[in-house]
Amino acid sequence: MPKLFATGNSEISSREKRNMERARKVASQGMVLLENKGVLPIDKSVKTIALFGNGARRTIKGGTGSGDVNSRFVVNVEQGLEDAGFSLTTKAWMDTYDTQVETARMGYFGELQQEMAAKGMAAVMKIFTEPFVEPAISGVSQKEIDAMKADLAIYVLSRNSGEGKDRTPGAGDYELSDTEKTAIANLANAYGNLIVVLNVGGVIDTKFLRAQEGIGAILLMSQAGNIGGHALADVLTGKVSPSGHLTTTWAENYEDYPNAKTFSHMNGDIHDEYYEEGIYVGYRYFDTFDVTPAYPFGYGKSYTTFDVKTEEVTADAKQISVKVCVTNTGATYSGKEVVQVYYSAPTGKLEKPYQELAAYAKTKELAPGESEELIITYQVDRMASYDVQRASYVLEAGTYYVRVGVNSRATKVSAAVVLDQETVTEVLSNRLVLDCEMNELSSADVTPYGYAEEEAEKEQACKLDIASTDIETKTVTYEETNAEIAANTSEKKITMQDVMSGQATLDDLVGQLTIPEMAELCVGTSRGNMGGDTAIIGSSSAVVPGAAGDTTSLMIEDRDIRNLVLADGPAGLRLSKHFKADAEGNVIPGTSDAPIPGMDLLMAGSPKPEIPEDAIDYYQYCTAIPIATLLAQTWDVDAIKECGDIVGEEMKEFGVTLWLAPGMNIHRNPLCGRNFEYYSEDPLVAGKCAAADTLGVQQHAGVGTTIKHFALNNQEDNRMHTNAHVSERAAREIYLKGFELAVKEAKPMSIMTSYNLINGIHSANNKDLLTAITRNEWGFDGIVMTDWGTTGGMEMNQGMEFKYGCSSAAGCIKAGNDLTMPGKQEDVDEIIASVGAKDGDVVCPITLGDLQTCAKRMLNTIMKSSAYME
């Protein structure tokens, strides 16, 4: 009888209540106060609120696609304010907008149903590439303002995005629409203290909001999970003092980003992406090239004020330590402050950004007048730069200035660390060689950002000397081939229990497996295709409805090799909320609710399954935690770890082994449709956040994270076939560094490769990336898996002609990509045919040792998983 982990009780559980309250506390810590003219927190005399905007009732908890979470309910802004005790005067306005949205939504899915009838299930991909967009608000007239008069007005502006499609820089997306501007202007003029709440997952243009008279406050709510309305109310009322800081630079104009004209669809070429800005990403660009942002990296206000004083900086050959005293200098409100430590490296042979984030810390809740001393440390070798000519990380001789502040445009020089001679910190091998001529951005003749006191601070800074001879040099050894495991001819059939009890080794077990058995082990279990009998867009698990997929269960009976269950994220588990099973515990196909919003409408005309009279209802309600960007904006690794703990607990409850999260690609450009799933433009922040998330999840034995998308998945248009052309230095210092930090600090159970090519080689087939860098350099010992459909059969852009094709299943094995998901029979057949084949006979010949190595890693992960923890 199959084991079902779901509950038969439909009532809200104590776990749901507890985890939503935990998520609520974290969400409020990551909201960023951008502007405040004394309007916030809301005065206790306010009893009625005029609530407008497309996010007032239709509040977005998180983006679309695999990033969605099917929680029991969503607390929107409307409910959050009402539960906080306010009376809302604009119910009729929200009702009207609801009707407009639902009419447009039914029309969208009606057209999609007609296209499905003509083209089949391939049309479903339009949910990703041409998603439903809610219509613009009808506006807010003076007549409506007068009729719905209240003590205070709040306008909630929402933006949504997701996988498969990048954003646009125009009105209604990156910029405000004319209708939104008119509504906000009317409300600002009428009230004089309008509060604008930004329910957005990424950057938007704020020029209009900052210039409009009568706007009293701008608060970045972000997308806060299914309890977000309550978290927002906590901040608006002062129950929680905002302490979030931005983890991405918000430019004055979209054109200010260095890749504004060439990103994704902006230049008409979605096949090749040239990373010409090199290392100058985010604040590294804005500070180095002295481009003034609307809001700098690390920015965030509070209801109180703080004094941040650097008391001491010490340094030796291994570590730099900064002692900072933070005091709440306000008289009324408690609050938390984020202290950021940067360094400025000397420019020698290698160009350097004006400054780079080295470490950070957040204070506890400080009462008015209260102080806290923080000790913030970072490793000296973190300041090294990658020299492609020598394939090494190098600390060039000169002065490294240590800077302390609360955002990238508010740092002060606190110390000068002087290195006597150049030294190499790590000797590597170039593994991501640029495949074309490319003129990278240079700062050679550029005057960087500066401030009046800077030179004096440098002169007065304490000098700390470090001898290059005291700095350790590491040299990496690479394993280029996979040794073959000897065949085990024992008559006894070795099982996983034999290995776990010490009666046999994993090599003994692998040595008994046939090539077809190992191929099955390295390919997921979906044998249908998009919309076939067994798989519907990332929802192909046979045992946990709504989960994204499973590994093979073909060897459970004879070898007790159980299967892993993989579920999407990254803002919680994406499972079906409800399904039915027969009395024997077999899930009845077609009874689970749609894991992707809108699929229920598309499948409305499908034949209904026969439901036995003794069928049992099961439920899988999960917590939608805040999106990754909001988590990062807390600058609090303990808070992020707590959200990981929420997910880990629910994984254990519902039988999920691997969470397909966290996403941790870099915010290279604000138009990336999936930025909400990612943490930051800075690799240190991304790495620290992913490590904290992973540690939270993996404190639950047997379950783990899958950090993704590895690597350079920084655009969504044509994401399955884009070639990212990038220098090795930029790749290592910006786009891989966060993954490296997460691997070394938290040891995630898995890594997911991206669809795109890197310098002409598919990420999934890139041995230099997956074996040389990930395993040999970083010491990763988990499994690597593909994203869904990397080897073909799950095309997102139907009908498009592609410059680059798909990756190869055998190529995955050769590269060290252990698991091809969701899996199809062609993948298994290709792997089997490629073992021992000659060049020219197959797409990618592999050795028996290659396949055995991947199979062994799969078995090692399965053995350590919760599948064996009853």
Q: What is the average pLDDT across 794-815?
A: 90
Q: What is the average pLDDT across 576-595?
A: 87
49 DSSP 8-state letter: E
Residue whose token pair is 């090692």? 860
Q: What is the average pLDDT across 511-517?
A: 98
Q: Compute the distance between CA of residue 157 and CA of residue 208 in angstroms, rounded to an integer.
A: 13
As a three-state string, the secondary structure of 185-235 is: HHHHHHHCCEEEEEECCCCCCCHHHHHCCCEEEEEECCCCCCCHHHHHHHH
**Smallest Cα–Cα separation from 353: which of 260, 249, 207?**
249
- In the prediction, which pLDDT does 536 show? 47
Q: Going by C-beta distance under 8 Å and a sequence separation of 6 or more, which residues neighbour residue 840? A: none
Q: What is the average pLDDT across 589-607?
A: 74
- Would you say residue 111 has pLDDT above 90? no
Q: Compute the distance between CA of residue 196 and CA of residue 212 in angstroms, rounded to an integer.
A: 11
- In the prediction, which pLDDT does 532 show? 35
Reported as a pLDDT band with limits 50, 70 and 90, residue 527 is: low
Q: Going by C-beta distance under 8 Å and a sequence separation of 6 or more, which residues neighbour residue 57? A: 76, 77, 78, 94, 97, 98
Ranges assigned E (strand) in 380-530: 385-387, 392-395, 398-405, 411-419, 423-427, 462-466, 474-475
Question: What pTM value is reported for the model?
Answer: 0.97
Q: What is the average pLDDT across 341-357?
A: 97
- Would you say residue 133 has pLDDT above 90? no
**Element at 511 (helix H, strand E):** helix 506-512
Q: Among 130-134, 500-504, 569-573, 822-826, which stretch is predicted with the lowest mean pLDDT? A: 130-134
pLDDT 10s digits, 726-776: 999 999 999 999 999 999 999 999 999 999 999 999 999 999 999 999 999
- In the prediction, which pLDDT does 130 show? 80
Angle at 683 between CA 679 and CA 687, to 5 degrees: 70
Computed over every residue of the chain, the mean pLDDT equals 94
- Would you say residue 849 has pLDDT above 70? yes
Considering only residues 65 and 591, tell me which one the structure prediction assigns the higher pLDDT.
591
Phi, psi of 730 (to 5 degrees): -65, -40
Q: Compute the distance between CA of residue 220 and CA of residue 748 in angstroms, rounded to an integer.
A: 31
Torsion of CA 758, 715, 780, 783, to 10 degrees: -100
Strand, coil or helix: what is 611? Answer: coil
Q: Is 544 left (phi over 0), alpha (psi -120 to 50) or beta?
A: beta
Q: Which of 550, 787, 818, 850 is catalytic?
A: 787
- In the prediction, which pLDDT does 410 show? 98
Q: What is the average pLDDT across 107-135?
A: 78
Reported as a pLDDT band with limits 50, 70 and 90, residue 539 is: low
- In the prediction, which pLDDT does 595 show? 64
- In the prediction, which pLDDT does 259 show? 98
Where along the chain do the CATH 3.20.20.300 domains lie? 496-575+620-868
**What sign results for the dihedral spanned by CA atoms 235, 239, 241, 245?**
negative
- Would you say residue 117 has pLDDT above 90? no
- The residue type found at 421 is Q
- In the prediction, which pLDDT does 70 show? 84
- Would you say residue 689 has pLDDT above 70? yes
Reported as a pLDDT band with limits 50, 70 and 90, residue 528 is: very low
Considering only residues 536 and 532, tell me which one the structure prediction assigns the higher pLDDT.
536
- Tell me, rounded to whole angstroms, the distance of Cα 337 from its chain centroid: 24
Residue 682 near residue 357 (C-beta atoms within 8 A): yes
- In the prediction, which pLDDT does 531 show? 36
- In the prediction, which pLDDT does 744 show? 98
- Would you say residue 481 has pLDDT above 70? yes
The CATH architecture that domain 496-575+620-868 belongs to is Alpha-Beta Barrel (3.20)
Pick the CATH number of 274-475 from 1.20.1260.10, 3.30.70.270, 2.60.40.10, 3.20.20.70: 2.60.40.10
Alpha helices in 120-194 (DSSP H): 126-129, 142-147, 178-191
- In the prediction, which pLDDT does 511 show? 98
pLDDT 10s digits, 558-575: 999 999 999 998 899 999
- In the prediction, which pLDDT does 535 show? 43
pLDDT 10s digits, 390-417: 999 999 999 999 999 999 999 999 999 9
**Smallest Cα–Cα separation from 822: which of 464, 501, 566, 549?**
549
- The residue type found at 547 is A
pLDDT 10s digits, 424-471: 999 999 999 999 999 999 999 999 999 999 999 999 999 999 999 999
787 an active-site residue? yes
**Smallest Cα–Cα separation from 23: which of 640, 675, 621?**
640
- In the prediction, which pLDDT does 3 show? 81
- In the prediction, which pLDDT does 106 show? 87
Q: In what side-by-side order are the strands of the sheet with 319-328?
A: 306-315, 319-328, 371-379
Where along the chain do the CATH 2.60.40.10 domains lie? 274-475
